[in-house]
Amino acid sequence: MRAVGASGEGSMESAALILTGGNVLTMDAERPQVQAIAVSREGRVLAAGSDDEVRHLATAGTCRVALRGRTLLPGFFDCHMHLRWLGVNLGHVDLSPSVVRDREEIIQRLRRRLEEQPGIPCIQGTGYDQNRLPDGQHLTRYDLDRVSTVLPVRVVHTSGHAAVVNTRALQMLGYTRDTPDPVGGQIVRDAQGEPTGLLLEAASWERLERIVPEPTREEVVEALGRASRYLLERGITSATDACTEPGEIEWYAQAVARNVLQVRTNLMVHWATVVHQAGEGASPRPEEMQPKTYGVNGHRLHVGQAKLFADGAITTRTCYLKEPFHDPPGDHRGILLHPPEELLHLIVLAHEAGWQIATHAIGDAAIRLVLDCYAEAQRRHARQRPDHRIEHCMLLDPDLIARLRRQNVWAIGQPEFLARLGDAYVTALGEERADRLSPYATLDARGVAQAFSSDNPVVPGAPLDGLRAAMERRTLAGRVLNPSERLSAEAALYAYTAAPAFASRVERDRGTLAPGKWADCVLLSADPLTTPLEEWERLQVEATFVGGACLYGAEKLEG
């Protein structure tokens, strides 16, 4: 097929689908706003233009859908989230602050799960955030012992960078007062030296198989299906799983082949595991790690980036800072998950093997370290625009912002963090540093490449909520974190549609509704560019299309 332009000239292929009578925001600079699009039988955009300009592509077999003035735009692209984790969490006990108010309600909900499933091997909760409890203090092993002293109980922090377990789980993990902290983690202890049950970073996931049974392939495929449905309901047509173990790639391929994973999926492979499995001196190239079974093509599933972690999270006080945390007082500056020389080694290996590297770094000291490593890798082996990324990239100063631009490094942000976790950021960092977090307007003005995502299930991950957060920067308590960093609606929308495609190196097929690209789009009830923030709640996802197929909201369409 030869793609046509907005006028429809250049190809006589008829359309399988025409969406007309709408406000179509294409995010394409050549024709940013049109009334209609035509979709080929392959599922790509044939034309984008006025109703008259695409009408001639219809035949007797063409499906026509009236948009009735509603707004159609490219499907949202969440370029940093966790599909498997989301899908698994949807089956665990929800302990998010919107559901529980205090530790007593947490205990009651966990007990209820035990009553409902007495044969469960481990009672697991998710979405927990100590910052939102009345006393702001973490749960302890003794709190969770009230749920069970026979079965392991594990409550995962909303950040994914900590967990709290009961005494039985500590025993099964082999964590005692004499157990040394693992590299990149901490077994938190009380004044007497006994583990409290709080496990930070590596301590929260090492030895996990001792208390949580390894999921079967079927269970993972089912979880990915749950995650896919969740994303489609929120208008997301492409998503990146931000940390996939090499052995899990084929599981995703099976989920795609069975058509339960319907969003286009990009995988970041856990690079430290890849290097460990390959052995010293062997660094697989990206093309060697693409899925090789089930006949899955790269448009549905693709391994895109090498993923690394430099530090932890603000809410768990494990991000790596130049200056100590404001709370608690002291000299604690966070945790580096790899010693600097090891992080450099891993980055150089990935860079020389041709990978785009995506490194988690939140604290200013961690971001500086990652930029140093990227620069050294480029010095040793020059590549043209490697397009490396820093995931989260939150605590910035003018020098770091200048370096991001100079080194052509992507800043991948999660604006919903500000809305849902912002008050905890102020507590942890103090006012001045909290105001420096995620300076989206400055990054935009300085020409730093940035794209938005959610890190779901750290936050619920609806892009409409993320857009609002980027424009408003208002915390749950009503505090505005640096109003000068509010982003315009146009820039925010670009950062959640077109920019992630560039940041993920798939811009030739996705990100805009331009002729030749996949017809991945979302239908909204109103125009996000003109809807006032005080009326934002009336914005709703009404339908989601992937390759021209309506996978959510078909009942809201009129033929």
Which range of residues forms the domain containing residue 114?
84-210
List residues bridging with 200 in a β-sheet.
162, 186
Which residue among 186, 210, 234 closes a domain?
210
Q: Where are the beta strands (DSSP E) in 102-207?
A: 123-128, 153-157, 162-165, 185-189, 195-201
Give the pLDDT of residue 8.
Answer: 41
Tell me, yes or no, whether 57 and 103 share the same domain: no
Residue 104 lies in a domain: yes
For residues 157 and 17, what is the distance between their CA atoms, to the nearest angstrom? 44
Tell me, yes or no, whether 124 and 32 share the same domain: no
Domain tally, the chain = 2
Residue 124 lies in a domain: yes
Dihedral sign for Cα 511, 78, 424, 371, please: negative
Residue 176 lies in a domain: yes
Which residues contact residue 153 at a Cβ distance below 8 angstroms, ignoring those fewer than 6 apart?
A: 110, 122, 123, 124, 125, 144, 147, 165, 166, 168, 169
Tell me, yes or no, whether 34 and 90 share the same domain: no
Residue 109 lies in a domain: yes
DSSP secondary structure string, 376-402?
A: HHHHHS--S----EEEE--B--HHHHH
Give the pLDDT of residue 10.
Answer: 44
CA atoms within 13 Å, Cβ hemisphere of 426: 17
Tell me, yes or no, whether 48 and 144 share the same domain: no
Tell me, yes or no, whether 88 and 139 share the same domain: yes
Asked if 147 and 139 touch (Cβ cutoff 8 Å), the reply is: no
Asked if 522 and 99 touch (Cβ cutoff 8 Å), the reply is: no
Tell me, yes or no, whether 57 and 88 share the same domain: no
In 3D space, the residue among 210, 184, 209, 214 whose CA is nearest the CA of residue 199 turns out to be 184
CA atoms within 13 Å, Cβ hemisphere of 375: 12
Site of tokens 């332009």:
5
Tell me, yes or no, whether 94 and 164 share the same domain: yes
Tell me, yes or no, whether 197 and 122 share the same domain: yes
Give the pLDDT of residue 215.
Answer: 85
Residue 184 lies in a domain: yes
Residue 126 lies in a domain: yes
Give the pLDDT of residue 295.
Answer: 78
In 3D space, the residue among 418, 399, 412 whose CA is nearest the CA of residue 485 turns out to be 418
- Sheet with 36-39: list strands edge to edge: 45-49, 36-39, 17-20, 63-66
Residue 424 lies in a domain: no
Tell me, yes or no, whether 40 and 138 share the same domain: no
Tell me, yes or no, whether 203 and 101 share the same domain: yes
Helix (H) or strand (E) holding 241: strand 236-244
> Which amino acid does the sequence have at 123?
I
Give the pLDDT of residue 350.
Answer: 97
Q: Residue 36: give its domain's CATH number.
A: 2.30.40.10
Give the pLDDT of residue 225.
Answer: 97
User: Burial, 11: exposed, middle or buried (Cβ in 10 Å; 0-12, 13-18, 19+)?
Assistant: middle
Q: Residue 143: give its domain's CATH number.
A: 3.10.310.70
Which residue among 160, 183, 210 closes a domain?
210
- Global pTM value: 0.90
For residues 545 and 518, what is the distance between their CA atoms, to the nearest angstrom? 10
Tell me, yes or no, whether 89 and 184 share the same domain: yes
Residue 43 lies in a domain: yes
In tens digits, what is the pLDDT along the chain, a chain of 559 residues?
A: 333 444 444 446 899 999 999 999 999 999 999 999 999 999 999 999 999 999 999 999 999 999 999 999 999 999 999 999 999 989 899 999 999 999 999 999 999 999 999 889 999 999 999 999 999 999 999 999 999 999 999 999 998 899 999 999 999 999 999 999 998 899 999 999 999 999 999 999 889 999 988 888 999 999 999 999 999 999 999 999 999 999 999 999 999 999 999 999 999 999 999 999 998 767 999 999 999 887 788 899 999 999 999 999 999 999 999 999 999 999 999 999 999 999 999 999 999 999 999 999 999 999 999 999 999 999 999 999 999 999 999 999 999 999 999 999 999 999 999 999 999 999 999 999 999 999 999 999 999 999 999 999 999 999 999 999 999 999 999 999 999 999 999 999 999 999 999 999 999 999 999 999 999 999 999 999 999 999 999 999 999 999 999 999 999 897 6
| Cα of 1 vs its chain's centroid, Å | 34
Asked if 203 and 187 touch (Cβ cutoff 8 Å), the reply is: yes
Tell me, yes or no, whether 111 and 67 share the same domain: no
Which residue among 171, 192, 210 closes a domain?
210
Which residues contact residue 424 at a Cβ distance below 8 angstroms, ignoring those fewer than 6 apart?
A: 129, 131, 132, 314, 315
